[in-house]
Structure 1
């Protein structure tokens, strides 16, 4: 049994989707990041960066429990454990890895900043909004070009690169994107949206997440509490 400590965010949904695709048994433990659950000692013991998601697999590689944090590392672990969605040859695996790193190093951080400065920032800073919106458009363009040549990010097969990237693109409107301007990406996005495991994965904890409207939750996520030494 795999215990998943998570919340209904793009990084959380990556893990929910992969577990659903794999059909592995798992239990979800809600870490309400608006309430500060990510700073509790029990969670920090498995996720020292105070970010979701994290997992504990009772049946680790050596038969002993293993805990992991960072969504990309968890995706790689689960893909390796199951032998699926990573590629079969070394060439396929490295191709998957480069697109996974593209998501981890670019898509997630940059779209997150676009979302933040467009939606959550207490004041609208034109420079920041323009910078991150333009970078979002650039990244969507990179993905669209890749998908004009291949059905999936890493080539002809659906992999953890697609699973990692898809949840971040679900908020395209908030990122200043018009999806119809990226036709190849839209075809890919629509197809992945219809996968039964994806439909189940994005519903995990979705009903528990509430709109971020109160000042306390904003301070927990974006203010002084985020930067305290622990």
Structure 2
């Protein structure tokens, strides 16, 4: 493995979770090389990857300047980067209560947003049999999660600490999928109208230079 850059990020072009880690790396100005695994060839399950990540999924981050320390699960990766490489709190919080609140949102994203939005995409686009009731269930869960965010963001600009942090950033990729894939045919869904505070928040986050640059790389790879 080349160690020209500090980190190697094992990821997938179409997988939202890898882009969460890339966003944080870019925001912190950390150098990394992305290795895009081919799921069709089972590369995520190959020994070259599972030696770092026994779960055989993405993302996996290897920190070459910390003894090739390997971290998997996107929430753990983001927490590691915030703890070790953001001492000034550029995109993270440092107070005891705020750190727990930040972790709370990372857990909610990983357990409440990602799995439900992921199932929605799977049953809408990839499942061999169309199951309308199942699709509807996960679409409604997507709307519910957006409602949780709206309830908080209608009262405050950011999720924790009064500033954009890794907690906010972690929601971006799956929210993009909600708008672009999951809810395209959901009755009368209008992101800006139905969830105005969340829409404003998401738009502000997506406009950040590092986020725009990384997501632009994704768009270029998908062409």
1:3 counterpart (8, 11, 18): 8
- What does 1:18-33 correspond to in 2, within 5 Å? 18-33=24-39
Change (3 A) 1:51 1:203: farther
Answer whether contact 1:11 1:53 (CA < 8 A) is retained.
yes
Answer whether contact 2:7 2:61 (CA < 8 A) is retained.
yes
C-alpha displacement at 1:98, in angstroms?
Answer: 0.6
Structure 1's consecutive aligned runs of 4 or more residues displaced over 4 angstroms after TM superposition are none
| CA-based RMSD | 1.5
Change (3 A) 1:117 1:178: farther
2:48 counterpart (21, 24, 42): 42
Answer whether contact 2:142 2:178 (CA < 8 A) is retained.
no
TM-score by length of 1: 0.85
C-alpha displacement at 1:207, in angstroms?
Answer: 3.4
TM-score by length of 2: 0.87
**Count of paired positions:** 207
- What does 1:143-222 correspond to in 2, within 5 Å? 143-173=149-179, 174-176=181-183, 177-180=189-192, 181-209=194-222
Q: Which runs of 5+ in 1 are unaligned?
A: 211-230
Q: Which runs of 5+ in 2 are unaligned?
A: 1-5, 184-188
Answer whether contact 2:93 2:161 (CA < 8 A) is retained.
no
- Bigger CA drift: 146-155 or 180-189? 146-155
1:79 counterpart (69, 77, 82): 82
C-alpha displacement at 1:32, in angstroms?
Answer: 2.2
Counterpart position of 1:214: none
Answer whether contact 1:118 1:175 (CA < 8 A) is retained.
yes
- What does 1:46-195 correspond to in 2, within 5 Å? 46-60=52-66, 64-82=67-85, 83=87, 84=89, 85-173=91-179, 174-176=181-183, 177-180=189-192, 181-195=194-208
How far apart, CA to CA, are the structure 1 residues paired with 2:164 and 2:54?
31
